[in-house]
Structure 1
Amino acid sequence: MNAAPVLVGYTAAIGFAAPYLLLRSRWPHRAPALAAAVWHALAVSFAIGAALAAYNLAMPTEHLHAGLVGLLHSCGLHVDTGRPDPDTAHQLAVALPVAIGAALLASFAFHVVRARRARGRHRQAVDLVGRRSARLRATVLPYDTPAAYCLPGRRPRIVVSDAAVRQLTREQLGAVLEHERAHIAGRHHLALAAAEAFHSVFPRLPLARHAREQTALLLEMIADDRALRSHSHDALATAMYEMVASRAPKGAFAAGGHGALIRVQRILGPRRAPHPALWGSVAAAAVVVPLLPLLVACPPGLG
C-alpha cells in the first residue's frame, strides 16, 4: 500500500484546517506555554508529513506504477512497461525529504544568526550610550518615552528608558523588569526563530502564518504570567499601558510589545486555569501529533 494519499490528506488537514480550529479555541490564552508547544508540534508534524509524502510520491508502489502505465496505454501512448530504475527512484525519494529538512534547518540558522547580529550591534550601542544600574540589573537609556525591552542571547541585556524609571512606580517597574527576565530565562528568541524559519520555508501556508503570529503573542503572555507571580495584575497592566507606544529594536522583546491590548484584557479579566483533563489531553496530543505521520507511513505490524 502506498501511504502518499493519506499523508497528503493529513498534511493538508494539519496545514490548513488545524490552525483555524486552534484559533477558535478559548484555552490557549489560559495556558500560553502549552499553546505555544501545540503550535510548534503542528509545525513539526506538518514538516514530517510533507517529507514522508514527498518520499512516498517519489517511490510509487507496484500497483500504482501499473495503473499509471495502463492509463497511458488507454490514451494511446506506448511507454516502456518495465519498472523505473530503482536506484534513481530511491535517490529522488530520499532527496526530497532531505531537501525539506535542510531548508528548515538552514532557515532556522539564518534567523538565529541574523537576530544575534542585530542584537549584537544594538548591544554595543546600548553599552556606549546607557548607564548600568546595579539596583535594576538593567541598562538605563536617556529616552523621553517609557520603554523597556530585553536583548536575549549569550550576553543578555535588559534595557529601560530613564522616562520609565521616573514615571513608573516601583511596583510597575519591577513587573516590567521581571517580564523581560522571563524572556531571557525562557530563551524565547529560539522559539520565535523556529516559527520564523517555518514561515520562511512555507510562506503561504496558513499554519506557518498563524504559528508565527501566535508564537510571538503567546511568548509575551508567558512572560506576563512570570511577572504576575511576584507582582500585581494592576501594576503590570498599567505599566504596559504606559509603554504601549514604545518600540523595540529588531531581535528584542518589549514589555509593551506584540498584542498589548489583548494581553492587558487578559491580565485584568477573570483568570481561570484549564481543567486538568483538558490540560493533560492537549499535552498528550502535543507529544503524539508529530509522530502521527510516522505511524501512517510505517503502520505497526506491516512489513
Structure 2
Amino acid sequence: MTAVWFAALALLLAGPVPALLARARWTWQVPRAALVLWQAVALAAVLATLGAGLASLSLLFTEEPGFPFLARHGFVQTTLIGLGSTLVAIVTVRFWIVATLVGVRTRRRRRRHRDLVDLLHRKESVSEVDAALLSETGVRVLTGPGRVAYCVPGRRSRVVVSDAMLNSLTPEEVRAVLAHERAHLRARHDLVLEGFTALHAAFPRFVSSQAALDSVRLLVEMLADDAARRRTGSLPLARALVSMAGQPGGDAEMPVGSAALARVRRLAARPARRGVSVLTYAAAGVVLGVPTVAVAVPWLQLSYRALAR
C-alpha cells in the first residue's frame, strides 16, 4: 500500500497543490520564502515519485509475482501499483531527458543571443545616460522602437537595453531597471526557472500544473524588484515598470515589464511582517519533511524485515 500512497502524494504535489498555491496572494509579500516553499513542493513531488517506484520494486522483489501477488493485494491495489510504477518510470526518464535538453538548448540559445547582441550593440553615445551605461561591463544597447530591458545569464552575462527605453526613462528609473537585471544575474534566477521548466515538462500534462512555473517566474521578478528598490527606492522602479508594461520581451527569459500591475501594487504595499516569512519557511519544511518521513519510514522498516528473512 506504500506505493499507492507515494503515487497519490506525487500526483497531489504535482497538480492540485501547485494550482491552489498559485492562487494565494500572500506569497507576494515574502517572495524569497515563497520560492523556497515552491521548491519544497517540487522536490517533495520528485521524492514521492521515486518513492512510489522504489516501493513497487520492493514488493516485486520480496514477494512472489503472478497470481499469489494478485491474490494477496487484490485487483485494485495491484492495478494501482502497476500504474504507479509506469508513471514513475515515465516521469523519471522524461525528467532526466528533458533536464538535459533544456540545459543544452538554453545554453545554446543564450550563446547565440549573446553573440547577436554583441554584434548589434550601439557603441556611440548620444546622451549622458548612455555614457554611464557604456562604462559598465556587460551592458549592451540596441536600437529599436520597443522599450525593453532584460538579461542574458551565463558565464559571460549581458544586460540588454534598448535606446527607446533610455530615451523614455529618467536616469533614476534606468538605474532601477539595471539594478533589477543585475539582481537576476547575481542570484542566478535562470537556474531556478530551468529546474521548474524541466519538472513541468517531465510530468504528463494531465498531472502537471502550469501554475507552478508561472508563479515562480513572477516570484523571481519580485525578488529582483526587492533588490532594485533597496538600491534606488520603490518609486523609480514602479515608474519604470509602468512605462515598460506590455512591451514585447523578444527572446528574454525574464523581461522586466512582465506582470507589471501586480508588481507595482506590491511595491506600493506595506512590507510583510517577519512572521509571515517564518511561517512560510516552516510550511516548506513540513511539506518536504513530514509526508516523506511518514510514508518512507514504515516502508523502510517493512523492506528491512522482508529482506532480513
For the aligned pair, the TM-score class normalised by the smaller chain equals 0.7 to 0.9
- Runs of 5+ in structure 2 lacking a partner? 76-83, 124-132
Partner of 1:68: 70
SS in 2 for 1:184: helix
Q: What is the distance in 2 between the residues matched to 1:298 and 1:202?
A: 26
Matched, 1:262 2:262: yes
> How many Å separate the matches in 2 of 1:152 and 1:202?
26
In 2, are the aligned partners of 1:51 and 1:96 still within 8 Å (CA)? Answer: no
**Contact persistence 1:158–1:177 (CA under 8 A):** yes
Indicate if the aligned counterparts of 2:151 and 2:185 stay in contact, CA closer than 8 A: yes
One-letter code of the match for 2:20? Answer: L
Distance 1:301 1:275, change over 3 A: farther
Residue identity in the other structure for 1:297: A
Q: Aligned partners of 1:71, 1:189: CA distance in 2, in Å? A: 46
Question: In the alignment, which of 281, 284, 294 is matched to residue 282 of structure 2?
Answer: 284
Aligned residues: 281
CA shift for structure 1 position 146: 1.9
Matches within 5 A, 1:221-236: 221-236=222-237
Residues 5-44 of structure 1 correspond to what in structure 2 (within 5 A)?
A: 5-44=4-43
Higher alpha-carbon deviation: 293-302 or 189-198: 293-302
Q: Which of 121, 125, 131 does residue 112 from structure 2 map onto?
A: 121
After TM superposition, give the deviation of residue 34 of structure 1 in Å.
1.5
| TM-score computed with the length of structure 2 as normaliser | 0.79
- What is the CA distance between 1:99 and its match in structure 2? 6.1
Within-5 A mapping of 1:200-239: 200-204=201-205, 208-239=209-240
1:139 counterpart SS class? strand
Q: Which amino acid aligns with 2:219?
A: L
Using structure 1 for the length normalisation, give the TM-score: 0.81
Structure 1 residue 28: deviation in Å?
Answer: 0.6
Structure 1's 251 and 170: CA in aligned 2 closer, same or farther, altered over 3 A? closer
* More deviation, 127-136/231-240: 127-136
Distance 2:206 2:224 in 1: 28
- Percent of aligned positions that are identical: 34
- The 1:55–1:95 alpha-carbon spacing in structure 2 relative to 1, beyond 3 Å, is farther
Q: Residue 39 of structure 1: CA displacement?
A: 1.3
Amino acid corresponding to residue 284 of structure 2 in structure 1: A
